[in-house]
Amino acid sequence: MSFPEEVIRKLQSAERIVVLTGAGISAESGVPTFRDAQSGLWANYKPEELATPQAFRRNPKMVWEWYMMRREMIKKVKPNPGHFALAAIEKKVPRFLLVTQNIDNLHHLAGSKNVIEIHGNIQRTKCFDEDIVVDKWELTKDVPPLCPRCGGMLRPDVVWFGEMLPPGAFERSAEAVRNSDVFFSIGTSSLVYPAASLPYEAFSKGILSIEINVEETPLTAHVDHHFRGLAGEILPQLVSATWLT
């Protein structure tokens, strides 16, 4: 792919870059995107119907087991060239922030350092009642297992629909976007708020905005540049075209 001169020059001189990623960046690692079809025991449910506190209250065993299945699957996958390209960009610019909606930890595994996980991390577990992270727990006959402190049910430390993001996560992300020179939205359907409002912080300040996605999204009409294709192919090409020439 060839990139507009404006993009290359702006990236080369950028002091501050903010990137928002979604499930699409991990798709090439083999992690199904959030809105991909469900399979197996969960085939009859939409992910949107399982990722809520109401669903957990109604059927904690089913929701817990869905997350355990995904957790075990995610443990086996590796970062792809898209994740590595973002870690490489972080080394090239003075200030870089990666805001990810993904809960799969792959950005950290690729070497990204300054990361805000706005929807949590599936490898962590917390107490449903106390909202406290629980590091040590065991699989027992109880499904979900119970909190060793209070006996409440354990749940994954992810953000479900209707729940608040981790304290300060959105505010810090939005401020970084407003102060950036270039903003990227990569592999997200731009449907879930408040994450989907972050690009508008960039638009309001006239910051160069770039979307990378295999398809159009509600954001496409608003960004300065839409690069259509696989993040794992476009990002390494962009790094080469910008910093390795």
Give the interface with ligand BJW as residue ranges (CB under 6 A).
Answer: 22-24, 27-28, 33-35, 51, 101, 103, 119, 158-164, 187-189, 191-194, 212-215, 217, 230-232
Whole-number Å distance between alpha carbons of 143 and 236: 43
Q: Which is nearer to ligand BJW, 23 or 146 (CB)?
A: 23
Report the C-alpha gap between 85 and 74 in whole angstroms: 20
Q: Which of 83, 107, 108, 119 is catalytic?
A: 119
119 is catalytic: yes
The answer to whether residues 21 and 103 touch, using CB atoms and an 8 Å cutoff, is: no
- In DSSP terms, 20 is beta-bridged to 99, 185
C-alpha dist (Å) from residue 74 to 31, 33, 68, 164:
7, 12, 10, 24
The least CB distance from residue 217 to ligand BJW, in Å, is: 5
- Considering the complex, state which of residue 160 and residue 183 has its C-beta at the smaller distance from ligand BJW: 160
CB 15 within 8 A of CB 95: yes
Closest approach of ligand BJW to the CB of residue 141, in Å: 25
Q: Which is nearer to ligand BJW, 19 or 51 (CB)?
A: 51
Cβ atoms of 179 and 170 within 8 Å: the answer is: no
Please, which residue, 128 or 150, has the CB nearer to ligand BJW?
128
Cis peptide bond upstream of 94, omega within 30: no
For the CB of residue 81, give the shortest distance to ligand BJW in the complex, in Å. Answer: 11
Give me the least distance between CB of 13 and ligand BJW, in Å please: 26
Active-site positions read 119
